[in-house]
Structure 1
Amino acid sequence: MIKWARWGLLPALVLFAPSVALAADPTVKDVAQAVDTVWVAVTAFLVFFMQAGFALLEAGSTRMKNAGHIAGKNILSFGLVALVFWAVGFAISFGQGNAFVGTQGWFLNVSDDMVNQVFGSLSYSDVPLGAKYMFEVVFAGVSLAIFWGGIAERAKLIVYFIFGILFSALIYPVVAHWIWGGGWLSGLGMQDFAGSTVVHLQGGVAALVGAMLLGPRIGKYGKDGSVHSLPGHNTVYSVLGVIILWFGWFGFNPGSTLSAMNISFAYIAMTTNLSAAAGGVAALLTAWAVLGKPDIPMMLNGVLAALVAITASCAFVEPWAAVVIGAVAGVVMVLSVQFFERVARVDDPVGAFSVHGVAGIWGTLSTGFFASPDLVKSVGVGAPGLFYGGGLHQLGVQAAGVLAAGVYVFVVSFIILYAIKATVGLRISREEEIIGLDVSEHGASGYPEQLPHGGEFSQEGSSGTRATPTA
C-alpha cells in the first residue's frame, strides 16, 4: 500500500504538495499528509460546487422574472463570505480564545510553526492551513446561501451586502466556535459531525427571520385568507440543482473527517446516501397523502431535508438508523412546509426553514436517540444515544445546543435585519416586485426573449408608457 502510494500517487500530488513530491526521500508521514491534503481540497471543491446546486434549485423554484437575480446572488454571496471569513470569521470560529469566541488568527496571519497553537481545535488534522480555510469557508458559504432562499423575490440587493457581511462575521462563526472551535458546547460533548446545527440550522433560522420581516410576496395570500401557489418556473432546473447538492454532500459529510487516511469517510458516505434516498421517497409519499398528488418539489426538498438531518449524525449512527432519520426528515419537512405556509402564513419561497431549520433540529437531536456506542467511541465525541442505553444525557446536550444556537441566530438576525428595515429598507417597491428583480435591480432579464419590445427594457416603452410585464 505504501509503496503504491509513494510511487504511483505522488506524481499526481505535485500541484497540491510540491514540497512532498520533490523531497528526496518522502516519509510515510509525508505521504499521508499529502494524501490528506488532496482529500480535503477535493472535498472542499465539491462543497463549493454546491453553490451551483443552490443556483439551479432556487432559480428553478422561483419565477422567471427573478431567475437571473436568484442565480447570480450565489456569486455575490460566496464572494462576501470568502473575504469576511478570511479576515475575521475563521479566527472567531477556530482561533484560540474563550468559551464563546476565538480571539486569535485574524486574516490567517499565522506562521507555520504556530498554526496548531492558534487553531488548536483543528490540530487533529495535519493538512496545511490553506486547506483548512478552504474547507471551512465553503461551509459558511452554504449556510449563507440557505438564508437567501427564505427572502427570495422581494429583498433589496443592498440586504445581501449588509447581512452577508454581518452573518459571516458575527453570526455563523460564533456558533461554529461553540460547537467546532473548542467552545462551551464542544466541552459538553455536543455531536454535530458536519453541521446540521452549525451550517443548516443557522441558515434556516436566519431565513425564517428574513421571511417574517419582509412579509409575503404579492399575490401569495388573498384578501379572503386563501393561499395561492406561486410555482417556480423550471422544475428541471430544480431537479438538477438537487442532484448537484446530493453529489456535493459527499464532500460535505465524508470530507469532515479532514483525512483520507481515516477510512470512516466511506462509511459516512453510505449513511449519507441512505438517508437522502429515504427522505426523497418518504416526502413524495407524504405529499401524495397530504396534498393528493405526488409533488415533485416536495420530493426534492425531502432529499435535502434528509441530507440536512444526517449531516450531524452521519458518523455516529448505524445504516438502519440513517434510513429512519432520513425518512422522518422527509415526512416532517412536508408537514412543516404546510404549517408555515397555511397556519403561520410565513412566505418562504423554497421552504428554507422547513428544509434546513426543522430538519436541522431533528438531525441534531437524532444522535441523542441513535448514536451507537462503538461509533461514538471511534469518533471520540459525546456519549451513546437513548436507544443504546445511554439515557437522556446526550439528548439533553443536543437539545441545549439546538436551543442555544437557534435563539442566538434568531435574536442577532432579527436585530440586524430590523435595523436594515428601519434605515435603508428590506423590501423593493410594489412596482419593482411586479416587474421582477432581474430588471428592477439589474436592468436586464434572465430571459430577455420573453419580454415585450424584443427584450429591450427602458424607462419608456415604444408606446410612451413604461414597459411592465405581468407578475
Structure 2
Amino acid sequence: MKESVLLNLLWVMFATILVMGMQIGFALLEAGSARMKNAAHVAGKQMISFAIATLSFWAIGFGVAFGKGNALLGTEGWFMHGDSMSTAGVPIASTFLFQLSFAGVSLAIVWGGFAERAKLSLYFLFGAFYMIAIYPVVGHWVFGGGWLAAWGMQDFAGSTVVHLQGAVAACVASVLLGPRKGKFNRDGTVNVLPGHNQVYTVIGGFILWIGWIGFNAGSTLSVKDGFFAYVTFTTMLASSAGAVVAVGLSLLHGRKADIPTMVNGVIASLVAITAACAFVEPWAAVIIGGVASAIAYWTAIVVERRGLDDPIFACSVHGIAGVVGTLLTGVFAAPRLVEKVGVGQMGLIYGGGIHQMVVQLAGIGATILYAGGVSWFVLSVLKRWMGLRVQEREEVSGLDLSEHGAYGYPEHIAFMKEEKRKRA
C-alpha cells in the first residue's frame, strides 16, 4: 500500500472513531435531557439501536447509498458484495465504517422525537427500516453520485443528508406519538419537563462538538495539502459563534444563561456549518453559525407553543438549522473553495446568481418530501399494527422500569419510596 493511501486510510479511520464517539455524546445529551425515570432507557437504546443500524446498513443500506445503480438509488452491493466503490483509494471496509458512522448519527437524531414515550420495539423496527430505505436513498442522491450530486448540490458533510433527514423523521414521530403526559395543559399552555442532569447534557454536547471534527474534517477523506485543517477551522468558528448567540438570546429573552440553550446553540451552528465548512470563508462561517443558532432558538419556542412535544429539540436544532446551513451555502460559497472542492457553483454574493440556491432548495425540498412521506407511512402502519406508545401507567412509572425492569438510579428511587412511606 502506497504511503499516501496508508495516510488517507489512517485519517479516515481516525475520523470514523471520532464520529462513532458521537453516539456517546447523544446518549449523555439525551439522557441528561430526559427525566430520571427514563435516563437508563434513553442511554441504553442508543447502544442497541446502533447495533441494529450496523447490521442493516451492512446488509442493504450501504449498497442503496453507494452501490452502482441509477440517479435515484444504488441497485447492488448488498452485504458489500459487487462493485460498490471505496473512496480516496482506501479499502472498502474503511469506507463502509466511515459512512456507517454518519448514518448512525442521523438515526440518533431521529430518536429525539421518540423520547420518553415510545416502545422499545419501535426503535428496532423503525431503526432498521430507516437504515435500509430512508437514509441511504437521500444519501445516494448527494453522496453516492445521484441526481442531486449531478446538479451540484453543496452539502459537504451532511446538513441535509444527515441532519435534516433525521430531524424530519423525528418530527413525524413526535406528531404521531403525541406529547408526553403532562407536557401541555388543556388550554394549550406549556409545562416544562426539565431534564434530570444538566451536567450530562453539557458533557454530551462537548463530546458531540469534538466528534464533529471527524464529521466535517473527516469528509475530506484525505490528508493531502492539509485541507482538513481549514474545514476544522471554519467548523470551530461557526460553532463558537452559535454558542455566544444562544447565550445572548437566553439572557435577553429569559434573563438567565440557560444551560440547554447554550448546548443547543452549539449543536445548531454545527449542523448549519456541516454543509458549508469546505465552501465558505471564515467570516461567512461565523455568520452561518450565529444565524442558525438564533433561528433554531426562536423556532424551538414556536414549535413548542404550537403543541409539538419535541423533547430534544430535533426539529429546530437539526432540522431548521440544517435548512439554514444548506441554503446559506448557496449564498456564501466562495469561488476559490468551490473550485478546490469541485462541486457546484459560487454563491450569490460572489455574482453566482441564484442558481446554487435553487439547487440547494431542491435538495432540501426533496429530502423533506421523501424522508417525511416515507416516515409517516411506515410509522402509521406500525401505529395501526402494534402501537407506537407505551401504556399510560408505564409512561408514568418510567421506561427504565417498564422496558428494562430496573431504574437507572435504583438507590435514589428506593430512598424516595422510603421517604414517601414514612410521610404516609
> What TM-score range do you get, normalising by the shorter chain?
over 0.9
State the alpha-carbon separation in 2 of the partners of residues 226 and 354 from structure 1: 20
The reply to whether residue 63 of structure 1 matches residue 26 of structure 2 is: no
Among 269, 288, 297, which residue is 1:306 paired with? 269
For residues 332-347 of structure 1, what are the structure 2 equivalents within 5 Å?
332-342=295-305, 344-347=306-309
**Which position in structure 2 is the counterpart of 1:260?**
223
The reply to whether residue 179 of structure 1 matches residue 151 of structure 2 is: no
Letter in 1 for 2:40: G
Instruction: Give how far 1:333 is off.
Output: 0.8
For residues 135-154 of structure 1, what are the structure 2 equivalents within 5 Å?
135-154=98-117
The reply to whether residue 93 of structure 1 matches residue 65 of structure 2 is: yes
How many residue pairs align between the two structures? 420
Q: Any idea what SS the aligned residue of 2:224 has?
A: coil
The reply to whether residue 377 of structure 1 matches residue 342 of structure 2 is: no
**Which position in structure 2 is the counterpart of 1:407?**
369
State the alpha-carbon separation in 1 of the partners of residues 303 and 253 from structure 2: 15
Instruction: Give how far 1:260 is off.
Output: 1.5
Letter in 2 for 1:333: A
- 1:318 touches 1:372 (CA, 8 Å); kept in 2? yes
Q: Any idea what SS the aligned residue of 1:98 has?
A: coil
TM-score normalized by the length of structure 2: 0.97
**Which position in structure 2 is the counterpart of 1:439?**
401
**Which position in structure 2 is the counterpart of 1:76?**
48
- 1:197 touches 1:405 (CA, 8 Å); kept in 2? yes
Instruction: Give how far 1:261 is off.
Output: 2.0
The reply to whether residue 367 of structure 1 matches residue 339 of structure 2 is: no
State the alpha-carbon separation in 1 of the partners of residues 122 and 394 from structure 2: 16
Deviation per CA, 1:399-447, whole angstroms, max 9, x where unpaired?
0000001110000000011111111100001100000000011101100
Instruction: Give how far 1:453 is off.
Output: 7.5
Letter in 2 for 1:88: I
- 1:58 touches 1:149 (CA, 8 Å); kept in 2? yes
Deviation per CA, 1:322-355, whole angstroms, max 9, x where unpaired?
000000011011101101101x210000101111
Report sequence identity in percent.
55
State the alpha-carbon separation in 1 of the partners of residues 188 and 403 from structure 2: 31
Instruction: Give how far 1:289 is off.
Output: 2.0
- Please give the root-mean-square deviation of Cα atoms over the aligned residues, in Å: 1.5
Letter in 2 for 1:439: L
State the alpha-carbon separation in 1 of the partners of residues 217 and 334 from structure 2: 18
- 2:122 touches 2:388 (CA, 8 Å); kept in 1? yes
For residues 218-257 of structure 1, what are the structure 2 equivalents within 5 Å?
218-257=181-220
Q: Any idea what SS the aligned residue of 2:29 has?
A: helix
Letter in 1 for 2:226: I
The reply to whether residue 119 of structure 1 matches residue 91 of structure 2 is: no
Instruction: Give how far 1:146 is off.
Output: 0.4
**Which position in structure 2 is the counterpart of 1:104?**
76
Structure with greater contact order relative to length (CA < 8 Å, sep ≥ 6): 2
State the alpha-carbon separation in 1 of the partners of residues 322 and 240 from structure 2: 17
State the alpha-carbon separation in 1 of the partners of residues 344 and 259 from structure 2: 38
Among 345, 348, 369, which residue is 1:386 paired with? 348
Structure 1 stretches of 4+ with a deviation exceeding 3 A read 452-456
State the alpha-carbon separation in 2 of the partners of residues 224 and 392 from structure 1: 44
Q: 1:180 to 1:442 in 2, by over 3 A?
A: same
State the alpha-carbon separation in 2 of the partners of residues 147 and 270 from structure 1: 28
Letter in 1 for 2:67: G
Q: Any idea what SS the aligned residue of 2:117 has?
A: coil
- 1:368 touches 1:384 (CA, 8 Å); kept in 2? yes
State the alpha-carbon separation in 1 of the partners of residues 84 and 184 from structure 2: 50
State the alpha-carbon separation in 1 of the partners of residues 78 and 183 from structure 2: 45
Instruction: Give how far 1:291 is off.
Output: 2.5
State the alpha-carbon separation in 2 of the partners of residues 448 and 61 from structure 1: 19
Among 378, 388, 400, which residue is 1:416 paired with? 378
Instruction: Give how far 1:71 is off.
Output: 0.4
Instruction: Give how far 1:286 is off.
Output: 1.4
Which has the larger displacement, 281-290 or 243-252? Answer: 281-290
State the alpha-carbon separation in 2 of the partners of residues 285 and 424 from structure 1: 45
Letter in 2 for 1:258: L
State the alpha-carbon separation in 1 of the partners of residues 154 and 357 from structure 2: 10
Structure number, greater radius of gyration: 1
State the alpha-carbon separation in 2 of the partners of residues 119 and 322 from structure 1: 34
Among 1, 21, 24, which residue is 1:52 paired with? 24
Among 168, 179, 187, which residue is 2:131 paired with? 168
State the alpha-carbon separation in 2 of the partners of residues 262 and 227 from structure 1: 52
State the alpha-carbon separation in 2 of the partners of residues 454 and 334 from structure 1: 35
- 1:56 touches 1:71 (CA, 8 Å); kept in 2? yes
State the alpha-carbon separation in 2 of the partners of residues 190 and 96 from structure 1: 20
Instruction: Give how far 1:226 is off.
Output: 1.7
- 1:311 touches 1:363 (CA, 8 Å); kept in 2? yes
Instruction: Give how far 1:454 is off.
Output: 9.0
State the alpha-carbon separation in 2 of the partners of residues 179 and 301 from structure 1: 26
- 2:188 touches 2:307 (CA, 8 Å); kept in 1? no
- 1:283 touches 1:333 (CA, 8 Å); kept in 2? no
State the alpha-carbon separation in 1 of the partners of residues 225 and 381 from structure 2: 46
Instruction: Give how far 1:452 is off.
Output: 3.3
Letter in 2 for 1:206: A
